Chains A and B, each alone.
Chain A
Amino acid sequence: MSTPTAATTPQEAAVPTRTSRTGGARLEERAGWLLTLPFLLLFVVFTAWPVIQSVFFSFTDIRNKDLRTPFAVDFVWFEQYAKAFADPIFRQAAFNTGYFVVVGVPLTIIVALAAAIALNSGISRFRAFFRLGFYTPVITSIVAVAVVWRFLLHPDSGLVNTVLGWVGIDGPNWLGSTTWSMPSLIAMAVWRNFGTGMIIFLAGLQAVPTQLLEASAIDGANAWQRFLNVVLPIIRPTVLFVMVTTTIGYLQFFEEPFVMTKGGPLNSTISASMYTYQQFSFGNYGFAAALSYLIFIVIAIITAIQFKFLSEKGD
């Protein structure tokens, strides 16, 4: 992905020849900054500075009322972080986020991979059609998704329970039950997100040489063995890439519960990001900043572990 290690600049070698020409390097220097400056101004003000400032905020008790004087607030150091760890709702939110990631990420990847393999398996006609169909949920606004899914999952008039009724199953009150609320949101998230992974897997599968598959087929390997021993090792980097990006995305689990359940029932679907947003909207900016940094730290650690895993297997 976008690791800082990609920052090497091969054109350094061009410098000596440039300096030998009349002021070329100076012109290049000026042009470089001229092209960078507009971006940099906006970027520093609206991205870099807020990142730094949020660390500062997380050590203060800044609230709504302090908005006009953000630097006159009291320093409380780690008090907000301590408060977060002691907060039962935040613990519940952290648990829910973990639940979402642990169940949702593998499911999303399996569905995405299955779809990609099916589309790549000698389907010549209609491939673009299926691909488009499977991808449409990705481009849809979460709010539109929520409106439709809330309706589909309605306990009485919803399509899901109607279909279940045909086979004699009395479907639950999906979003109103503490047991079924999370599985409902996970199902929705898998439905909405597997298309992204599918597209990336399709690109990865292009790298699998067909001769290799033919050879192993002749040697008597069945489809499953070929997948496990030929395909999977070749697309492993792609799998890990999709895993890392999906995990990062799911750790920020926010929109689904926000628009579907408001975190309920009984906080059964409240997520860490959503709780952060809630605290923010209550005006507890210092606390919200501390929560956001906790989420960031967890994301950074998990991403680092996944990258280590990725490099250890020697790609």
Chain B
Amino acid sequence: MFQDNGLRRRWWLYLILSVALIVVVTPFVWMVLGAFKTSSELRKVPPTWLPENPTLENFTSLFSRLSFDTYFLNSTLVAVAVTVGNLLFCSMVGYALAMLNFRGKKLVFGLIMATLMIPGVVTFVPLFVLVANMGLVNTLPGLILPFLVGPFGVFLMRQFIMGLPKDLVEAARIDGAGELKIFARIILPLLGPAMATLGILTFLGSWNNFLWPLVVAQTNDTYTLPVALALYSTGQNQTEYGLLMAGATVVVLPVLVVFLIFQRRFIQGIATTGIK
């Protein structure tokens, strides 16, 4: 921002940023290192930094004793289904709202926008009653269906599609292409950046979602990773810290990898759409 800085000033800046970075990432480093320590080492006072006797036992226990493979699979299935659903349905509506005229369009858009600001806690009670009445408590569809579409995705898609040149659509219409064909052949291929932003945000949101799975998943076979981790981290007579650190690492690593791969697009998307 301030262009007149000399080397001396930059030196300070790097120092401050480095110290800040260490503070910010210490919990992660601590967590990952802790996952390789034994439980007794984790209880040591003062704490150790590097594992004295590095062990993979915590990770193997997660999968042998606590069926983390099931939770991992559940988390993945739910996140993928929710992401695909949002990308597909929201882009369809986004196109209709941005490029087409149909009766009731304003009503549909108004309805979607009105719910955008309502916090999740408001729909929580009736949604649970609904899902319970449908017999979907403790099922994967019960975890997926309420999140398959959302107002935010529509808003993002509509805004993005409105920025596309309308001539493209008009030209295709003159060539006699139907609206569905225009959507599939012309609009969809142009939605790359919007799809990337919405896709990553939806995936992260679903992967880290905690409250709804906590209520709906009630037995081992439907737990997602955060639910399983939360349940194991509390209410145990003897807390096994090593296991928890390994579990926390398993929860974080996949999204960290996804983020590392897509970070440029992701950060640009967040900056331009301005959302969390």
Contact = CB atoms under 8 A, between A and B. Distances in A.
Contacts of A24: 173
B248 A144 contact: yes
A223 interface: yes
B233 A27 contact: no
Given A32-B96, A47-B150, A293-B122, A144 B251 contact: yes
Contacts of A123: 10, 13-14, 17
B255 interface: yes
A2 B4 contact: no
Given A9-B106, A115-B20, A139-B256, A148 B30 contact: yes
Interface in A67-98: 67-68, 70
B171 interface: no
B93 interface: yes
Query: How many interface residues does chain A have, given as a range?
Result: 35 or more
Interface stretch (A99-107, A176-184, A251-259): A251-259
B5 interface: yes
B45 A157 contact: yes
Contacts of B217: none
Contacts of B195: none
B233 to A, nearest CB: 5
B122 A292 contact: yes
Given A1-B274, A141-B207, A202-B271, A57 B126 contact: yes
State the 4 A-B residue pairs at the shortest beta-carbon distance, nearest first.
Answer: A32-B102, A31-B179, A203-B271, A144-B248
5 contacts: A43-B115, A70-B126, A118-B17, A138-B276, A203-B272
Given A42-B85, A141-B229, A203-B274, 11 more contacts: A2-B113, A31-B179, A32-B101, A35-B95, A36-B96, A123-B10, A136-B259, A143-B233, A147-B233, A162-B47, A252-B120
Interface of A: 1-4, 6-7, 9-12, 14-15, 18, 24-25, 27-36, 38-40, 42-43, 45-51, 53-54, 57, 62, 67-68, 70, 115, 117-123, 126, 128, 130-152, 156-159, 162, 165, 191, 196, 199-200, 202-203, 205, 208, 210, 213-214, 217, 223, 226, 231, 241, 245, 248-249, 251-252, 254-255, 259, 262, 273, 276-277, 280-281, 285, 288-289, 292-293, 295-296, 299-300, 303
